Amino acid sequence: MSENTKKPAIVIDEVEYLIDDMTNEQQMMVNHIDDLSRKMASSQFNLDQLNVGKQAFVNMLKQSLEVPLKKVPKETVQ
């Protein structure tokens, strides 16, 4: 590997660990951490969309409730 290419590493508690120096089990844990981080970011993205969508429906409902309701005359029963 050239000197300009940085080897894959992970920083934990401000200490950098090279992935190549880890055991297979440790590398698997790093893979799980990376995968979970991606899933958490994706979940947060989805949650942001859901919150915006919910707020839009709340705003639409509030707006529709501000419009005075037309009173429908009661029909006389014969």
Cβ neighbours of residue 19 closer than 8 Å, sequence gap 6 or more: 7, 8, 9, 10, 27, 30
Q: Please check whether residue 2 lies inside any domain of the structure.
A: no
The pLDDT of residue 28: 98
- Distance between CA atoms of 54 and 15, rounded to whole angstroms? 42
- Distance between CA atoms of 49 and 53, rounded to whole angstroms? 6
Q: Please check whether residue 16 lies inside any domain of the structure.
A: no
Domain count, the chain: 1
Is the CB of residue 10 less than 8 Å from the CB of residue 33?
Answer: yes
Residue 19's alpha-carbon distances to 1, 3, 9, 70, in angstroms, are: 14, 17, 5, 69
Q: Please check whether residue 50 lies inside any domain of the structure.
A: yes
Q: Please check whether residue 10 lies inside any domain of the structure.
A: no
Mean pLDDT by 10 residues, the chain (78 residues): 80 97 98 98 98 98 86 67
Q: Please check whether residue 26 lies inside any domain of the structure.
A: yes
Domain that holds residue 58: 22-65
